[in-house]
Amino acid sequence: MIDADPAALQTPPISSRAVLMKATRTSLAIAACIVLLDQLSKTWAVKDLDDGHVIHVIWTLQFNLTHNQGMAFSRGTGIGPVIGVIGLVVVVLLLLSLRRADNALTRLATGLIIGGALGNILDRLFRGAGWMRGAVVDFIDFQWWPVFNVADMAIMIGAATMIGAMLKYQSHSSTQHNTGTVNSAE
């Protein structure tokens, strides 16, 4: 049997700042991947579908280029600058909220929403004739649902994931509160 100094067996504490920075980098990396995928797919759509033809993929899914100057479901046409500014405010608030993102699901959801919002904001900034006057490129068309894009998918998946994380961790913390136990693994 080997005697070891108990202090040597203890792992040094990880600073909460280092954990926060790692979590923030993870969310920002997810957001950057979404922006890249979104903008690449929109560039393809504008280049290959601009002549008006439609590519049938499977069942009712087709790629059909449209431009949306409003918001979801083509509502709010003409108030693109307002929608863009609201989007920027949401991105800033989500970036600030990363300091409190204490679980992987919330960090994933936040990264997805930030990436999706930035993808559509870039369209409003650079696909038009003036500041925030651009139209969002949509091209994924099921024919029975409004046409959308990769950024829209990221926002919706991120929102659903955020709700799931809230429900999971809210019920988990209320269970711990009711039993008086705390699981340090969370």
Does the pLDDT at position 99 exceed 90? no
Global pTM reads 0.81
pLDDT in tens, 21-76: 877 899 999 999 999 999 999 999 999 999 999 999 999 999 999 999 887 766 77
Asked if 138 is an active-site residue, the reply is yes
The residue from 38, 123, 141, 152 that is catalytic is 152
Structural domain spans, the chain: 21-176
152 is catalytic: yes
- Give the span between the Cα atoms of 61 and 130, in whole angstroms: 33
DSSP state of 147: -
Catalytic hit among 38, 123, 138, 141: 138
* pLDDT, the chain, mean: 85
The torsion angles phi and psi of 181, rounded to 5 degrees, stand at -110, 155
Contact 106, 113 (CB under 8 A): no
Token digits of residue 150: 């990769």
